[in-house]
Structure 1
Amino acid sequence: MRRPPAAFAVPVVLATAMSVAACGGESPSPKSDAPAADAPKTSAPAPRKVVVVVDGKPTETMTTGTTVQQVLEQAKIALGPHDLVKPAADQPPGEIVKIMRLLSAPKLKVVRTPAKTIRKSSSSVPPWSEKVLREGKAGVTIVKWAYVRRKGKKVPKVLAQKVKSRPVARILAVGPKSAGTGSAARLNWAGLAKCESGGNPKSVNPAGYYGLYQFSMATWTSVGGTGKPSDASAGEQTYRAQLLYNKVNGRWQGQWPNCGKYLFS
């Protein structure tokens, strides 16, 4: 059989290619002419009420500010160089903004709190005597303060304080408050006191004699007294006067030469 010439095969190939393209083969898709969607629009924040309190005085303001600084700017409230603002200027304002006007930069001060004294009765301590069981220690507080204006005056104000250490109480063992010492207690000590000091336990003689019975400091110390006799209670003064009477074996003349006779009245 005789083969056809090669030229007759070309139209078949072209027809096949056109057929494939027409049947949806790989071919560039047409560009869409539809317009692009618009980007969503952002709306400004709605005004809301914020209360600004300056030195305790509140003011309401409508604001769109998202920080304290913006709120104050819109309310035309300026901060001084040392003013305290809460919340901080770069924070969201919340419903209330508080401002404290300061006339000076804050300073720190160390404040010492005195220790208390606790007295505990003890039978092992001599009457009218005291023994230290534990030494006390003052507490320490760090105080932050600054000057503010109040009623037209510049006054200091505590802004904050922190307890660094608490005070430690001093503990004393206190002997019994004895009513008297033996037979000496039966004498007329009120009569002696009236003659010596007018019955005044705080009496002080410029010559160096103190209290109800006009003790000298040396004599007072010799019977266990501490401090000045005129600072002791009337009961302790009487107790130590009775100790003195017993210590000198009743020879009162050397102690109270002018008034001693009233012990027996």
Structure 2
Amino acid sequence: MRGKRRAPRPPIPWRSRWTPVVCLTGVVALGAVAVVSFLVKEVVVVVDGRPLAVRSFAGTVGGVLGDAGVSLGVGDVVRPAGQEAVSDGATIEVHRARPITLILDGRTSHHLVTATNVADALAELDIVPAAGKLSAPPGDAVPLEGMSLTVYTRRKVYVVAGTTRFTSRTTARTVRQVLRQKRIPLGRGYRVSPPLTSFPEDGTVITIMPPRALPVDPEVMHLNWAALAECESNGDPQAYNPDGPYYGMYQFSLPMWEAVGGMGLPSAWPEDEQTYRAQLLFQHVQGRWQGQWPNCGGHLFTRTALAAP
């Protein structure tokens, strides 16, 4: 008697004809994951102090910034540089450029800075905030679209008024403001050099001259003073000759300038003041001009001024 027929055995999965395909697919997938994990980089991009975590396949700083959606403008600073290679775990710093319209002591200039506050912007421009007057507090932010900033530095100026001489450290915008700060009144007819509306640079000497109390004889006024000035200094009111020293259009020595009421340096005064004092000097020496202008004094008596060389 024949026995019962056995049921067929179920196929073993790993012996299936699809087994090699499944295994190969798994290996490829695992390999791809491993490759991706190896190639992708975790990078931190810091834009103006704000960090941003970025995953990128890029091999350079510029590529990572592109993946992060960070575009660069004129004047922006990137560290490391855009063409440099980037590694996993790297940090990239981006400092945005900000336009600054700087009005420094009345002079306007335009700059790009990467600082995010006023104090750092001034430091970037080599200006010490504590040394002057600012239009914005040092802690104020500098917006990305830029700003206008006015700075008046603290300068040293000198004031000469008769026998009074003193030094002033000031942020004043005009000579007039310097005198007001020092409570120096100006009477009727007083003259100031440089002009009251001029800007007092560092080292400026402000001279205050009293009214012209002494008259000039009409005959003296009609001498050829232009010819004398042309001979003495080429007509330059700021001329200086270290041999004396001698100053100004008429080459005054300081003792002779002071003898006719002059204050400060002759060369600090405008032409009309120098001419007035020269005329007083002519009267003071009673027309004996040879001692003051031995080489050029004769030109006073010519009819026309000398031609410029």
TM-score, with structure 1 as normaliser: 0.39
Between Structure 1 and Structure 2, whose CA radius of gyration is higher? 1
More strand as a share of residues: 1
Larger RCO, structures 1/2 (Cα 8 Å, 6+ apart)? 1
TM-score, with structure 2 as normaliser: 0.34
